[in-house]
Amino acid sequence: MMKLKNTLYLLDENFYIHAMNNNIVIKKFGKIINRIPIHIIDSILCFNYMGVTPDVFKLCNINNVTLTFLSPSGSFMGHLVGESHGNVYLRREQYRIADDKPRAIKYARNMIFGKICNQKYVLDSFLSKNRKFCDLKFEKAIEKLTESLKLVLELEDFESLRGVEGDAARAYFSVFDHMILKDKENFCFNGRNKRPPKDRVNALLSYGYALLNTSVKSALESIGLDSYVGFFHTDRPGRASLALDMMEEFRPILVDRFILNLINLEQIKKKDLVIKESGAVLLNDDAKRNFLKLWNERKHNEIFHPFAEENTKIGLLPFIQAQQLSRTIRNEIDLYPPFILKVGG
């Protein structure tokens, strides 16, 4: 049975870490703040600029703990991945598929199908509980997603697939603001924007997507796949294309719903985000701590996995899907099965 370990988040910019007797030791201004046994950690996320000692790299590598560096705003800067549990044959086949467009699109179609299904789940689920907040535009968006699902699995070229995916995303985000029920004056949403996010909702989404991206990359690398060679997202230096591919099916249910709950349950407020002179909107330090606390708590909640036919912790979903992807590449499964939620499921 796979065990969900802990993610260590280092938010204080003055934190510095080193290793001692199989422990990660956190220091601040030379004083020891905490010691964490390496065996209970699966990944370390550093949002600080002070850095780590080389013995931390060695300890993480030996114990297959992913060490990731992000800017204080959550932008990915780089990471160290421990020794791979996979083998060269798995990666060689992954590369062959990525270079063979007719084979690659079979994976891409299913991942995008999963994304649109889960976008529709978010809208259907909200509609079933909050019909009074939904208008004709909301129902039209659901119709558009339903139409997209009928098209996506028949597509044979990437240009058409990207077109359908883009149309579905525009329909989905066109009614995202309907699902924000509290403090709409400060948490209004008029469309997706990023690099940098220009409003509070987009700042929260971007921060959540950055955390999800790190989790998916760790999951893929842990079973021996190359997170930088994808089937849908094109190759680009520094871009973890396969992680971005697999993220698609998780975005609506793991990040979007989480952000909506944060706002609607008033767990995040106007004061938690700051607007820079450049117009960029960022979470302040207290908001980051609260966000990560709630994010970590949610990872331990259970959800039913329809393909595995059992309940599993949310934090394990990327690892389960990475295993399913590996099994498909090895021809143990005919087609990659994306993770899909259904209303009532």
What is the tens place of the pLDDT at every residue in 251-279?
999 999 999 999 999 998 889 888 887 87
Q: What is the pLDDT of residue 11?
A: 66
Dihedral sign computed on CA atoms, order 220, 334, 117, 168: positive
Is the pTM higher than 0.95? The answer reads no
| Mean pLDDT across 148-167 | 93
Q: What is the pLDDT of residue 345?
A: 43
| Mean pLDDT across 27-38 | 85
Alpha carbon dihedral 268, 271, 273, 278, in 10-degree steps, equals: 160
The tens digit of pLDDT for each residue in 46-66 reads 766 667 888 888 888 888 787
Q: Residue 337 and residue 106: Cα distance in Å, rounded?
A: 11
The tens digit of pLDDT for each residue in 101-153 reads 999 999 999 999 999 999 999 999 988 888 777 788 888 999 999 999 999 98
Contact by Cβ (8 Å): 123, 175? yes
| Mean pLDDT across 67-73 | 69
SS3 label, residue 52: strand
* Model confidence band, residue 96 (pLDDT cutoffs 50, 70, 90): very high
- C-alpha count within 13 angstroms, C-beta hemisphere, residue 121: 21
CA distances from 283 to 81, 125, 196, 247, 325 (A): 27, 28, 12, 22, 34
Strand partners, 52: 17
Structural element, H or E, at residue 145: helix 136-152
**DSSP-derived secondary structure for 172-213:** HHHTGGGG--S-TTTS---S---SS--SHHHHHHHHHHHHHH
Write the DSSP symbol of residue 223.
Answer: T
Write the DSSP symbol of residue 226.
Answer: -
Q: Residue 250 and residue 119: Cα distance in Å, rounded?
A: 9
Q: What percent of the chain has pLDDT over 90?
A: 38
